[in-house]
Amino acid sequence: MEPVFPIDIKLNLLEGKKFYRYSYNEYTTINGKTHRSELNKNFHVTLKLLEKERFEYHIEIFDRVHRDKELSLSEKGFLARIAEINDDVVLITDEYGNLKNVQGLSVLQNKVEKTVEKLSQSYVGKQAEDSYQFLKEFYQKEHLVGQDFLKNNHFGMILHQFYGRYEQENNAKYSVRYRNFMANTVIDIEERVQPQDMRGDDELLLLQYTGNIPSDKNWEMFYGEMKRKEIAYNSETDFPKLDKYKGQILLDFKTKEVLEHKLTIEFFLGENYQKKIIYHIKEISYEEL
pLDDT of residue 288: 84
What is the C-alpha separation between 187 and 209, in angstroms, rounded?
18
For 126, residues 6+ apart whose C-beta sits below 8 A from its C-beta are: none
pLDDT of residue 277: 96
**More reliable by pLDDT, 63 or 39:** 39
Gap between the terminal Cα atoms of the chain: 33
DSSP element (H, E) containing 90? strand 90-94
pLDDT at 286 over 90: no
On whether the CB atoms of residues 210 and 245 are closer than 8 A, the answer is yes
Q: Which pTM was predicted?
A: 0.84
The answer to which of 23-32, 53-62, 108-117, 172-181 has the lowest mean pLDDT is 53-62
Mean pLDDT of 203-228: 94
The CATH classification number of 7-288 equals 2.30.230
- The full length of the chain comes to 289
